[in-house]
Amino acid sequence: MSTPHLMNTYNRLPVTFVKGQGSTLWDTEGKAYLDALSGVAVCGLGHAQPDIAQAICEQAQTLIHTSNIYGIEWQERLADRLCAISGMEKVFFCNSGAEANEAAIKLARLHAHRKGIADPRIVVMESSFHGRTLATLSATGNRKVQAGFEPLVGGFVRVPYGDLDTLRQVGNHDRNIVAVLVEPVQGEGGVRVPPSSYLQGIRELCDQHGWLMMVDEVQTGIGRTGEWFGFQHAGIRPDVMSLAKGLGNGVPVGACLAAGAAAGLFAPGNHGSTFGGNPLVCRVAHTVLGVIERDGLLARARTLGERIRGGLAARLSGTKGVVEVRGLGLMIGTQLDRPCGELVKLALARGLLINVTADSVIRLLPALVMSDEQADALVDGLVDLVTEFLSGGAKA
């Protein structure tokens, strides 16, 4: 089914799904697909998860929305839980990752003005992705998403990802810098994992200069990397953190968390959201956290990621055209030496859902609940597809 009334904002694949269970989706013709994308890192608990379905059903029959004019019990419970697992202190709830990053940018601006800096600048990274609102696409290090939307929002300084020396040099020469916004692992940028000391180094520079360290955990958060949050691999705490995607397992919810000096910046009237933090989404997000903890899914993300990554690396080793298999937890990228966007449709025809980002990186974002058998089937299918593609023989 198609309609001429939808805006042409997506280059959709020729398939419509009608049912899901775990890591399997079925289309309108009854064909089954192995889902290795999870709605782009959203459905970490898989499709039709029973606890999530029950939470949605019960809360929808009780109370969906009242607005933030009033107290919201599930919002308070979720804020307490998020702060307990992250070490952060305050939470603002919104509806998406872009909104969470907008809140982070506004916090940085408030921080600047309270320090008497009239022209504040935030350091952002090349190849980053932070959203598609005007401010977040301006922060994004991808010219394709910015083109046609000029003039962009000012106040951003861009440096190479993973490069502490350049960040240090910029900080020594620009007294208007007030914050650094960084992804613990770049997702849209090609599943790029920085050096192990990178986040620690940013933390040290932020402490030295009085900057806010702001981490975009929209894709890396909620267990995706094998810890609750990507920054926890570095043993540090940021000043600001943005969340969305996996927090709601498909229900739209975002959050901006703050600690230290950043925690007290917002006051009534500084920021808000009509739908943000309503009882329905907060109960679902609270349930997501409970299931991850109950079922040991952080450890599962680590072992499953190692299984898939190791399988791909071993079987593609020495294959001409494969540059690298890399990742952290269940963020896995296989970089080829050539553009490979056509692999998405080729995989779809074989019942496999994958993604290609940064033109030449096959990105896998499986659910934390994918079985070992499904993981092995994913490796088998992808190895066959890549091998045939690189030899010129892959066909739909």
Give residue-wise pLDDT tens across range 279-297. 999 999 999 999 999 999 9
Given a cut of 90, whether residue 392 has pLDDT beyond it is: no
- Distance CA(112)–CA(170), nearest Å, equals 17
Beta bridge partners of 346: none
Q: Which among 90, 92, 156, 216 is annotated as catalytic?
A: 216
| Average pLDDT for 305-318 | 98
DSSP letter string, 121-174: EEEEETT----SSHHHHHHSS-HHHHTT-PSPP--EEEE-TT-HHHHHHHHHH-
Nearest Cα neighbor of 137 from 149, 125, 126 is 149
What's the confidence (pLDDT) of residue 311?
Answer: 98
Q: Is 245 a catalytic residue?
A: yes
The answer to whether 364 and 347 have CB atoms below 8 angstroms apart is no
Residue 396: band (very low, low, confident or very high) from pLDDT cuts 50, 70, 90: low
The answer to whether 102 and 273 have CB atoms below 8 angstroms apart is no
What's the confidence (pLDDT) of residue 209?
Answer: 96
What's the confidence (pLDDT) of residue 86?
Answer: 98
pLDDT in tens, 126-175: 999 999 999 999 999 999 999 999 999 999 999 999 999 999 999 999 99
Given a cut of 90, whether residue 2 has pLDDT beyond it is: no
Q: Is 129 a catalytic residue?
A: yes
Beta bridge partners of 254: 94
Q: Is 266 a catalytic residue?
A: no
Given a cut of 90, whether residue 393 has pLDDT beyond it is: no
The first and second tokens of residue 125, run together, are: 């990274």
What's the confidence (pLDDT) of residue 240?
Answer: 98
Given a cut of 80, whether residue 394 has pLDDT beyond it is: no
Residue 300: band (very low, low, confident or very high) from pLDDT cuts 50, 70, 90: very high
Annotate 196-217 with b (16+ C-beta within 10 A) or e (fewer): eebbebbbebbeebebbbbbbb
Residue 1: band (very low, low, confident or very high) from pLDDT cuts 50, 70, 90: low
pLDDT in tens, 15-55: 999 999 999 999 999 999 999 999 999 999 999 999 999 99
- Distance CA(193)–CA(191), nearest Å, equals 6
What's the confidence (pLDDT) of residue 352?
Answer: 98
Considering only the C-alpha atoms of the chain, give the largest distance between any 2 of them, rounded to a whole number of Å: 62
Given a cut of 80, whether residue 101 has pLDDT beyond it is: yes
Q: Which among 92, 129, 229, 266 is annotated as catalytic?
A: 129
The chain-wide mean pLDDT, for the chain, equals 97
Classified as helix, coil or strand, 239 is coil
Give the distance, in angstroms, between the CA of residue 254 and the centroid of all CA atoms in the same chain: 11
Backbone angles phi, psi at 15, to 5 degrees: -155, 145
pTM: 0.97
Q: Which among 90, 92, 245, 389 is annotated as catalytic?
A: 245
| Average pLDDT for 380-388 | 98
pLDDT in tens, 314-342: 999 999 999 999 999 999 999 999 999 99
